[in-house]
Amino acid sequence: MRRNALTRTALAALFLVGAWAGAGAPSAAADERASSAREASEAPASAALLSALRADLGLTASEAEARLAAEERATTAEPKARRAAGAAYGGSWFDASSGRLTVALTKDAGDRTRRAVEATGATVRAVEHSARELDAVKQRVDRLDAPAGVTSWHVDPAANTVVVNVAGGSRSDDAVQRFLDRARAAGPVTVDVVPGAPRTLAAGTVGGDPYYTGNVRCSIGFSVVGGFVTAGHCGGVGQAVSGWDRTHIGTFQGSSFPGNDYAWVNVGSGWWTVPVVLGWGTVSDQLVRGSAEAPVGASVCRSGSTTRWHCGTVLAKNETVNYSQGAVYQMTKTSVCAEGGDSGGAFISGDQAQGVTSGGWGNCSTGGQTWHQPVNEILTRYGLTLLTA
């Protein structure tokens, strides 16, 4: 993809090359960028998302506005509801039909616990198994050696079970059947058949995209103090990173894949960082104001250098994804599409950072699913501070 002058100006909000940064007096381009940044900071963080949500989720303008407001309330309520539920907590998710957070409580939960959860604004549903029990089942499945036909597995709080996903055409394979038998022995497990197997979303070199490591192109996730976070499969510790204009940015300071799929790159050589996610002209560039984790069922959008801006919903959390290179744990699954080169890019819900793109199946022409590595885990692992507006 070749960048025109307008695109270069927009990208400068994220990437400022050294020669310009060293200039003594601000240029007209600098004034334009400063003005754009002021306008973005004064606008509601969710306003520019409405058109994308309307297109990708099939909502009207008023429905998109109402959904964003409801999701913000649910995101705020979720940690309070979890604390109120205590040991009876069975998981939670955003119910788009009601516009409320739903919290699962085990059947032995008392009236006092139920009232405390409902006081947070959540709806309560009775279930058989607690979240702690289901997490323990998933951990036992994590210890199994999964064949290629098994694509992923996660706890589904609404179904109150661990769901194992199997690629279409592989369910009758002997190795898959043996895995499923052992998984069912671990506890409550159900099986879903999915259209495709997951793959990472790095790509070979093409011109004009955000960053390169050798002959691999990936996408920047979120700015942190001193650099940015991205996907681990995009590069190893010590590898050099160059930007969309092929000038040197920095090097990978930390990287983990498989097992995890996260990394961080230091920023120097005249480049700088800002709390912005590119909207690629589909929406306005989005300011990042925090990293509150959106619940299952909430809308989420992704920015990447190949397919730019797309939205969908959170389908599952803490899913184990079985790539050909090895399993990756604690991933979040979404209905957002992605393609090669989108790896490492930003997942954002409203103005809250969610994670960096790892991989998926399908594409943005026919649809698919994509996983991201939660950003808060990356920040904790490397002791990083998210850059916020």
Task: Measure the N-to-C terminal CA separation of the chain; round to a whole number of Å.
Answer: 29
Same domain, 173 and 206: no
Residue 7 placed within a domain = no
| 74-78, 262-266, 283-287, 351-355: the lowest-pLDDT one | 283-287
Cβ distance 202 to 341 under 8 Å?
yes
Percent of the chain with pLDDT over 90: 69
| Angstrom distance (rounded) from CA 279 to CA 323 | 29
Whether 197 has a pLDDT exceeding 90, the answer reads no
Which of 91, 109, 126 is where one domain is finished?
A: 126
Which of 158, 180, 197 is where one domain is finished?
A: 197
Active site residue 261: yes
Q: How many domains does the chain have?
A: 3
Residue 202: the pLDDT is: 62
Which residue type sits at 226?
Answer: G
Residue 214 placed within a domain = yes
Instruction: List the CATH number of the domain containing 179.
Output: 3.30.300.50
Q: What are the pLDDT digits (tens) for 344-384?
A: 999 999 999 999 999 999 999 999 999 999 999 999 999 99
Same domain, 352 and 278: yes
Write down the catalytic residue from 343, 349, 351, 372. Answer: 343
Same domain, 120 and 223: no
Distance, C-alpha 102 to centroid of its chain? 21
Cβ distance 112 to 153 under 8 Å?
no
Q: What are the pLDDT digits (tens) for 18-57?
A: 222 222 333 333 333 334 444 444 433 456 567 788 888 8
Residue 20 placed within a domain = no
Instruction: List the CATH number of the domain containing 117.
Output: 3.30.300
pTM of the model: 0.77
Token representation of residue 73:
């309330």
Same domain, 351 and 258: yes
Confidence of residue 268 (pLDDT cuts 50, 70, 90): confident
Active site residue 233: yes
246 exposed, middle or buried (CB, 10 Å; 0-12, 13-18, 19+)? exposed
Same domain, 138 and 231: no
Active site residue 343: yes
Q: Which of 157, 104, 159 is nearest to 126 (CA)?
A: 104
What sign does the dihedral 204-205-206-209 (CA atoms) show? positive
Same domain, 228 and 315: yes
| Domain, as residue range, for 177 | 131-197
Residue 178 placed within a domain = yes
Same domain, 87 and 192: no
Same domain, 357 and 341: yes
Q: What are the pLDDT digits (tens) for 174-188?
A: 999 999 999 999 999
| Angstrom distance (rounded) from CA 283 to CA 346 | 14
Same domain, 141 and 221: no
Same domain, 191 and 276: no
Cβ distance 342 to 201 under 8 Å?
yes
Q: What are the pLDDT digits (tens) for 145-159?
A: 999 899 999 999 999
Same domain, 370 and 325: yes
Which of 94, 126, 158 is where one domain is finished?
A: 126
Same domain, 369 and 239: yes
Write down the catalytic residue from 261, 285, 342, 351. Answer: 261
Write down the catalytic residue from 129, 154, 233, 372. Answer: 233
Residue 276 placed within a domain = yes
Whether 206 has a pLDDT exceeding 90, the answer reads no
In order of 93, 104, 229, the CA distances from 296 in angstroms are 4, 13, 23
